[in-house]
Amino acid sequence: MGKITEALKKAAEERHTRLDKINRITEQEQLIVKKIGSSRLDARIVTYFDPQSLITEQYKILRTNFMSLNHGKSPQVVVMTSALHSEGKTITALNLVVAMAQGVHKPKILLIDADMRRGRIATYLGVKQETGLSDFLRGQISLKDALFKIDLENLTFMASGTVPDNPSELLACDTMKTFLNEVRPNFDFILIDTPPVIAVTDAGVLGALADGVIMVIQAGRTQRGIIERCTERLDQAHAQLLGHVLTNIEYHLPEYIYRYL
């Protein structure tokens, strides 16, 4: 009788798991993302505040390069990372998704803050969103409670959530893979902001689940050897490196070009 009882218990658990997955998919198909009314965006999100500026044009060039990857068949799920801390990856990700959302075709974009140790996306957006990815992966909130919008057309965000004890293990769990598979049909592009490659393994873990990785590098700071080491780590994790973005570049534009623009 003990074996029969265990078999019945196992069957009930499997049935519950299947029903839970079906409910999650049904919920995703009818996903209504909550909107946070008041927000104070960081001034460094220049693509929002000044769409015609010279700096915004650089992000539009980045957008064009991104869209041109793989002969115009741009990757859908992309990890944004850096070699070291404070190289500008999160600000770059925010400016890029705003520039993408401003495109002619108005793609639907999801930006995920997967830096569960020191996530900054909610802070840069000027909103109070304490729950997010970590809470969803631990089963503490539903997907619709983890996503939010502000006054940015076609953009959806997911904050990092409360700081967990095991961020790398959470990102490597089957729930993360299932989550990405479930949200793919609902968005044209999904960008995932992750911690630096040198510091932790998170970028490699998510890079293997994504269609590719973009590495942000600060000019005049990050040494070539560090970049090579990061590339090796991503390769070992079976994450495809799509390209690099160089930040903190200063150059002089001739006055006649400025007048023309």
Q: Are both 209 and 176 inside the same structural domain? A: yes
Q: How far is CA 76 from CA 69, 73, 111, 134, 190, in A?
A: 11, 9, 12, 22, 6
Q: Which domain holds residue 26?
A: 1-30
**pLDDT < 70 regions, the chain:** 1-39, 72, 250-261
Residue pair 35/149 in contact (Cβ under 8 Å)? The answer is: yes
Q: Are both 15 and 59 inside the same structural domain? A: no
Q: Are both 195 and 111 inside the same structural domain? A: yes
Query: What is the predicted pLDDT for the residue at 254?
Result: 54
Q: What are phi and psi of 155, to 5 degrees?
A: -110, 135
Rg (CA), the chain: 20
Look up the pTM and report it. 0.82
Residues 6+ apart with CB under 8 A from 105: none
Q: Are both 140 and 19 inside the same structural domain? A: no
Q: Are both 111 and 10 inside the same structural domain? A: no
Q: Are both 21 and 80 inside the same structural domain? A: no
Q: Are both 39 and 6 inside the same structural domain? A: no
Q: Are both 15 and 93 inside the same structural domain? A: no
* Per-residue pLDDT reduced to its tens digit, 5-55: 565 455 556 555 544 544 454 444 455 566 665 568 899 999 999 998 988
